[in-house]
Each structure stands twice: as C-alpha cells, then as structure tokens.
C-alpha cells in the first residue's frame, strides 16, 4: 500500500476518487491531511486527521509517503500550493478515476482526473494539473502544469492551456486556441479567440474583463 498525505482539508471529492481506485485494487492508505489553515490542525476532516501545516512533511516518519495537492481554488493557487509541496522532495501520487479511459493519453506526475472526465486520444496532462468531473479534454489538447479544468467544461481539440490556467464550470474553449499562463475563463464562457497571460474572460463570446 502507498501511504498518502493530501494538502487541503476542504474538498471530499478526492477522497471519493481514492476510494474508487482502491475499490478496483487496494493501493492507497490515507495517512492524513496537511493544511495551511492553522485552525484545522489537530482536527479531522472526513474522519482523517489534519496533521498540521505542510512543514510536517519534512518529518522522517512521512518520508515514504506520496503527496496529493487537493487545492483546486484556481490554477494560480494550484501552482503556489504544488510548489509548496515540491520543496519536500516527496513523490506526487497521480490519481486517475478507474472508469476514465486514459489510453493514448500523456499524464505526468501529480495529475488528478475525476469521475466522468473524458480524455480524448493524444491529449497531454502536464504535472499537477487537475481535471474535474465531466470535463472534456479534446484530442491533441494540452492542459498545462498546475492548471485546473472545472466540471462540465470543454477544452476542444488541439487547444493549449499554458501553465496555471483556470477553466471554470461549463466553459467551452473552441479548437486550436491558446490560453495564456495564469489566465481565467469564467463559468459558461464560450471562447473563440486566444486569451493572453493572466487575462480573465467571461461571456459568450468571451470578452476580457479588467483584473
């Protein structure tokens, strides 16, 4: 069994994902959470103890553990928190729901793919990105490092999401576009043109809003 520690004691979905993986083949033992919120230390969430801040990962008793970044507040937060975990030199678990077809898909360490996601052939999921329930990643598309693709959104074929991008619920990014580093696509937006780095767009057709 691989021992797991998760960062971010706030979202139960990843626990269910781990339970679904274990139901197919017992693979993971959850040791606890770490969380940046000191108020949670010493408490438990979903019956799993909150061990403390991420600094506890430096302790010898956790050297054999793998870590999971459960923070999906947005792509930029996912970058900050993943980098926080990276400094402890522990391996990142890669969690893909067992019913997701991941054949002919490139998946790097630390990636999380939830139930019902559709990964089309030859798409590329870079390290520490997360794809939520029911999201579609089109053929030959790239989801950049640390990016977050929220539930029921569509990233069409050959789209490139650069690093730490956020695609919010139900948004659609049409084929072959490039969404710049740190950009945010609002819920239900329909994107028909490239989006620059750190821009936020919303609406149909999606328009840039001041940030």
Ligand X SMILES: CC(C)(COP(=O)(O)OP(=O)(O)OC[C@H]1O[C@@H](n2cnc3c(N)ncnc32)[C@H](O)[C@@H]1OP(=O)(O)O)[C@@H](O)C(=O)NCCC(=O)NCCS
Q: Which residues bind ligand X (CB under 6 A)?
A: 150, 168-169, 184, 186-189, 200, 202-203
We find the least distance from the C-beta atom of residue 51 to ligand X, in angstroms, to be 25
How many Cβ atoms from other residues are within 10 Å of residue 46's Cβ? 11
Contacts of 37 (CB under 8 A, 6+ apart): 9
| Closest residue by Cα to residue 78 from 182, 188, 193, 198 | 182
> What is the DSSP secondary-structure string of 82-123?
HHHHHTT-PEEP-EE-TTS--TT-EE-TT-EE-TT-EE-TT-
Q: Which residue is nearest to ligand X (CB)?
A: 186
Give 194: exposed, middle or buried? Use CB within 10 Å, 0-12, 13-18, 19+.
middle
Measured from the CB atom, is 10 or 44 closer to ligand X?
Answer: 10
Measured from the CB atom, is 31 or 201 closer to ligand X?
Answer: 201
Backbone angles phi, psi at 14, to 5 degrees: -70, -30
Measured from the CB atom, is 110 or 186 closer to ligand X?
Answer: 186
Measured from the CB atom, is 94 or 200 closer to ligand X?
Answer: 200
We find the least distance from the C-beta atom of residue 3 to ligand X, in angstroms, to be 28
We find the least distance from the C-beta atom of residue 188 to ligand X, in angstroms, to be 6
We find the least distance from the C-beta atom of residue 60 to ligand X, in angstroms, to be 36
């Amino acid at each position: 069994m691989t021992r797991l520690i998760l960062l971010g004691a706030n979202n139960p979905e990843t626990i269910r994902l781990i339970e679904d993986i274990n139901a197919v083949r017992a693979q993971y033992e959850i040791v606890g959470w770490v969380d940046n919120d000191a108020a949670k230390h010493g408490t438990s969430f979903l019956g799993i103890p909150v061990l403390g801040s991420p600094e506890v990962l430096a302790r010898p008793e956790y050297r054999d553990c793998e870590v999971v970044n459960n923070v999906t507040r947005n792509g930029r937060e996912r970058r900050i928190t993943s980098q926080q975990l990276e400094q402890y030199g522990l391996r990142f678990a890669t969690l893909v729901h067992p019913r997701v077809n991941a054949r002919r898909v490139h998946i790097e360490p630390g990636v999380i793919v939830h139930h019902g996601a559709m990964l089309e052939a030859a798409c590329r999921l870079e390290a520490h990105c997360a794809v939520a329930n029911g999201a579609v990643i089109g053929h030959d598309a790239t989801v950049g490092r640390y990016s977050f693709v929220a539930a029921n959104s569509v990233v069409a074929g050959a789209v490139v999401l650069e690093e730490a991008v956020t695609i919010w619920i139900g948004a659609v990014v049409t084929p072959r576009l490039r969404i710049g580093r740190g950009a945010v696509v609002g819920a239900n937006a329909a994107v028909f043109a490239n989006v620059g780095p750190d821009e936020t767009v919303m609406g149909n057709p999606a328009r840039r809003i001041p940030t």
